[in-house]
């Protein structure tokens, strides 16, 4: 015998509608609920089915089971009316003025569906004007999801909440649990740590706490991101910063500021910017060859938007080396280009040995210990926190260099490294773990581009080793490491657009799908997803060099190229670095 199990979608709502009609007509009501002197007629059966509180109340053995009127002194009349309307209609009308009364009644009467709707209302209605109020309400009634949502909203919008023209009374009344979570947040765009510290001190001024709780709150401030003179000034003024525990944190921060060259190696959460998304920086470059600019642009891979940084490079450089250590940007050597003010076609190029370090925490440049030799068109890389400057050339017309130097950050100086077997400039460089690979370039003993690949194990080797040569001779090209393989991209004036991949395990090169057109003097970087991005560059068109604004993406999984967006304008000669920066320095 067969049968069908069929659900009626209208039966439940129709039954509730009938109950509501009976309540409105005051028919068959067998209980009166009273709050603040106001009475509400209801039906025991429906109340018991909707609430664990009423289910227990109306059991046969309770006093309330036979009572005609039940008083609920813990509830407001507004809250009780709101909850009864929900029981009878499944609808609830919420506003900031009725939220607390409704939550109090729903929690007291154990009507979880109504509590869930209050949670949803808080999460969906957050604004700058109500977020602190909602955070306090959610914390008071233990609404964990709403608490998490409000805390995230406050952290994400803290720069606006702390704005100079906003009333801070809501923030100063924020509950301590939410404030602690906000101060511990990694993502807080557009907020200077000095402002955050001052706000925490102001909050403590309005909400005095025992030393233990005050220490717990202030320990979430990243004191190393506060300028030292400001730390010293506030410590002298605010007793909360002079407790033994917080004083020790302040002293550690002040010591960090004295570390100088060592700072990139002693990074921690206390020295890290409150940002979780890296930006691709386009350092230098210009609209035409030999005319570099000092601009630095940032690129957001997700939104594909470009921004100019508020700070520029110290000098107009080309063929420089750049690298990132401890979220500091290092700019090494290169050619300083000085254009004649009266005749822009005339420029003087001077090879430099200067080293500059940019700190995005305080948006400033600092000149570091210079290179041992002046270098341009050289290789620059980082292995285990050590910066390597490899080969290159001196002034134009001078022979190439075979020397290698490494920056000892602990000593704050450059030291000689393992020299190359021959002088070379215009080569490309990539690293895998502790190994350095350089390819191509022009050797001092030959006028043409090279196919050679050299390898140095920085851990235990005292000489460069020759590995399988590329299939194409290249100069002025770039390499990138993606998933333990090295990709060699186009160089200067190559008559074809092929790229190739090197597998160190097999010591073998493989030709890949060529680029759509020739390209050189571009910026190149690898995304977190393992794709290569190529920014701008120059190409040949109708017998002339043309600077392009195109941004191309190479997907190694499918061996495919595509154009993803355009730069704000044509750009060539830029170099790429991946860093965490503050939105405060983006225009």
Residue 389 DSSP SS3? strand
Would you give the end-to-end CA distance of the chain in angstroms? 75
pLDDT in tens, 560-577: 999 999 999 999 999 999
| Gap between the Cα atoms of 430 and 437, Å rounded | 5
Residue ending a domain, among 125, 143, 171, is 125
Query: What's the Rg (C-alpha) of the chain?
Result: 34
- Per DSSP, 370 falls in state P
Q: HSE of 28 in the Cβ direction (CA atoms, 13 Å)?
A: 10
Instruction: Indicate the pairing of strand 575-579 with strand 279-283.
Output: antiparallel
Q: Do the domain assignments include residue 528?
A: yes
Whether the CA torsion 153, 155, 157, 162 is positive or negative: it is positive
Residue 74 DSSP SS3? coil
pLDDT value of residue 8: 59
Place of tokens 């069929």: 6
Dihedral angle, C-alpha 466, 470, 473, 475, nearest 10 °: -70
Residue ending a domain, among 125, 151, 184, is 125
Q: Do the domain assignments include residue 49?
A: yes
pLDDT value of residue 142: 94
Q: Which CATH number do you get for residue 388?
A: 2.120.10.80
Q: Do the domain assignments include residue 451?
A: yes
Place of tokens 């657009």: 497
Residue 209 DSSP SS3? coil
Q: Do the domain assignments include residue 259?
A: no
- Residue 393 predicted with pLDDT over 90: yes
Question: Where do runs of H (alpha helix) occur along 141-265?
Answer: 144-156, 158-161, 169-172, 176-183, 193-206, 211-218, 228-237, 244-257
Predicted confidence band at 395 (pLDDT cuts at 50, 70, 90)?
confident
Quick one: average pLDDT of 329-335? Answer: 97
* Cα angle value 300/302/303 (rounded, 5°): 70
Predicted confidence band at 7 (pLDDT cuts at 50, 70, 90)?
low
Reported for 338-342, long-range contacts at CB under 8 A and 24+ positions apart, including other chains, are 339/291
pLDDT value of residue 392: 96
Domain count, the chain: 2
pLDDT value of residue 12: 67
Residue 493 DSSP SS3? coil
pLDDT value of residue 495: 77
Q: Higher pLDDT residue, 65 or 171?
A: 171
Q: Do the domain assignments include residue 238?
A: no
pLDDT value of residue 11: 64
pLDDT value of residue 398: 83
Q: Do the domain assignments include residue 245?
A: no
pLDDT in tens, 396-411: 878 899 999 999 898 8
C-alpha distances (whole Å) from 427 to each of 162, 245, 342, 433, 508 are 50, 52, 35, 20, 19
pLDDT in tens, 490-539: 998 887 889 999 999 999 999 999 887 889 999 999 999 999 999 999 98
Residue ranges making up the domain that contains 505: 279-585
| Gap between the Cα atoms of 538 and 573, Å rounded | 9
Distance, CA of 110 to chain centre: 41
Quick one: average pLDDT of 429-442? Answer: 96
pLDDT value of residue 319: 96
Q: Do the domain assignments include residue 93?
A: yes
pLDDT in tens, 362-390: 999 999 999 999 999 999 999 999 999 99
pLDDT in tens, 93-133: 999 999 999 999 999 999 999 999 999 999 999 999 999 99
Quick one: average pLDDT of 172-180? Answer: 96
User: In this structure, are residues 320 and 340 in contact, taking their beta carbons and an 8 Å threshold?
Assistant: no
Nearest Cα to Cα of residue 234 among 273, 263, 202, 186: 202
How many C-beta atoms lie closer than 10 Å to residue 104's C-beta?
A: 20
pLDDT value of residue 342: 67
Average predicted confidence (pLDDT) for the chain: 92
pLDDT in tens, 263-303: 999 999 999 999 888 999 999 999 998 899 999 999 999 99
| Gap between the Cα atoms of 26 and 400, Å rounded | 100
Place of tokens 């909602």: 134
Residue ending a domain, among 87, 109, 125, is 125
- Per DSSP, 175 falls in state -
| Gap between the Cα atoms of 370 and 357, Å rounded | 11
Q: Do the domain assignments include residue 526?
A: yes
Q: Which CATH number do you get for residue 66?
A: 3.30.710.10
pLDDT value of residue 463: 94
| Gap between the Cα atoms of 146 and 165, Å rounded | 27
91, two tokens = 């609808």
Structural element, H or E, at residue 112 = helix 112-124
């Amino acid at each position: 015998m067969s049968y069908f199990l069929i659900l009626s979608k209208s039966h439940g709502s129709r039954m509730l509608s009938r109950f509501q009609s009976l309540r409105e007509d005051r028919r068959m009501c067998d209980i009166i609920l009273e709050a603040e002197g106001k009475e509400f007629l209801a039906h025991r059966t429906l109340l018991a089915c909707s609430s664990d509180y009423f289910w227990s109340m109306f059991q046969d053995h309770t006093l309330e089971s036979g009572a005609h009127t039940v008083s609920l002194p813990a509830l407001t009349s507004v809250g009780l009316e709101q909850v009864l309307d929900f029981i009878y209609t499944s609808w609830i009308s919420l506003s900031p003025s009725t939220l607390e009364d409704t939550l109090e009644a729903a929690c007291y009467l154990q009507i979880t569906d109504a509590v869930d709707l209050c949670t949803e209302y808080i999460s969906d209605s957050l604004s700058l004007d109500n977020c602190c109020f909602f955070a306090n309400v959610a914390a008071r009634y233990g609404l964990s999801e709403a608490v998490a949502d409000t805390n995230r909203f406050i952290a994400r919008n803290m720069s606006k909440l702390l704005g100079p023209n906003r009333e801070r009374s809501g923030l100063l009344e924020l509950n301590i649990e939410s404030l602690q979570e906000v101060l511990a947040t990694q993502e807080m765009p557009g907020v200077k740590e000095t402002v955050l510290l001052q706000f925490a001190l102001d909050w403590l001024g309005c909400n005095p706490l025992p030393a233990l709780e005050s220490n717990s709150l202030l320990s979430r401030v990243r004191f190393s991101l506060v300028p030292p003179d400001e730390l010293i000034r506030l410590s002298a003024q605010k007793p909360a910063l002079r407790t033994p525990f917080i004083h020790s944190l302040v002293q550690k921060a002040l010591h960090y500021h004295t570390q100088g060259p060592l700072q990139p190696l002693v990074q921690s959460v206390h020295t890290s910017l409150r940002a979780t998304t890296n930006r691709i920086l386009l350092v230098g470059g210009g609209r035409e060859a030999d005319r570099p600019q000092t601009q630095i642009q940032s690129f957001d891979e997700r939104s594909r938007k470009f921004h100019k940084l508020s700070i520029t490079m110290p000098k107009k450089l080309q063929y420089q080396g750049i690298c990132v250590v401890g979220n500091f940007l290092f700019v090494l050597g290169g050619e300083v280009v000085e254009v004649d003010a009266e005749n822009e076609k005339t420029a003087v190029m001077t090879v430099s040995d200067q080293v500059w370090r940019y700190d995005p925490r305080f948006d400033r440049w600092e000149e570091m210990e210079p290179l041992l030799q002046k270098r341009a068109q050289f290789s620059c890389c980082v292995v285990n926190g050590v910066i390597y400057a490899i080969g290159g050339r001196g002034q134009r017309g001078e022979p190439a260099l075979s020397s290698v130097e490494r920056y000892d950050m602990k000593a704050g100086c450059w030291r000689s490294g393992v020299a190359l077997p021959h002088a070379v400039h215009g080569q490309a460089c990539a690293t895998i773990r502790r190994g350095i690979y350089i390819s191509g370039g022009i050797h001092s003993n030959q006028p043409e581009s090279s196919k050679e690949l050299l390898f140095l194990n920085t851990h235990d080797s005292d000489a460069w080793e020759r590995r399988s040569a590329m299939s194409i001779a290249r100069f002025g090209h770039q390499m990138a490491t993606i998933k333990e393989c090295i990709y060699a991209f186009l160089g200067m004036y190559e008559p074809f657009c092929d790229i190739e991949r090197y597998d160190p395990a097999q010591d073998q090169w493989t030709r890949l799908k060529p680029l759509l057109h020739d390209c050189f003097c571009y910026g190149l970087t690898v995304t977190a997803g393992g794709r290569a991005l190529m920014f701008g560059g120059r190409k040949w068109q109708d017998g002339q060099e043309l600077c392009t604004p195109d941004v191309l993406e190479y997907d190694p999984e499918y061996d495919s190229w595509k154009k993803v967006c355009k730069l704000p304008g044509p750009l060539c000669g830029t170099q790429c670095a991946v860093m965490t920066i503050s939105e405060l320095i983006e225009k």
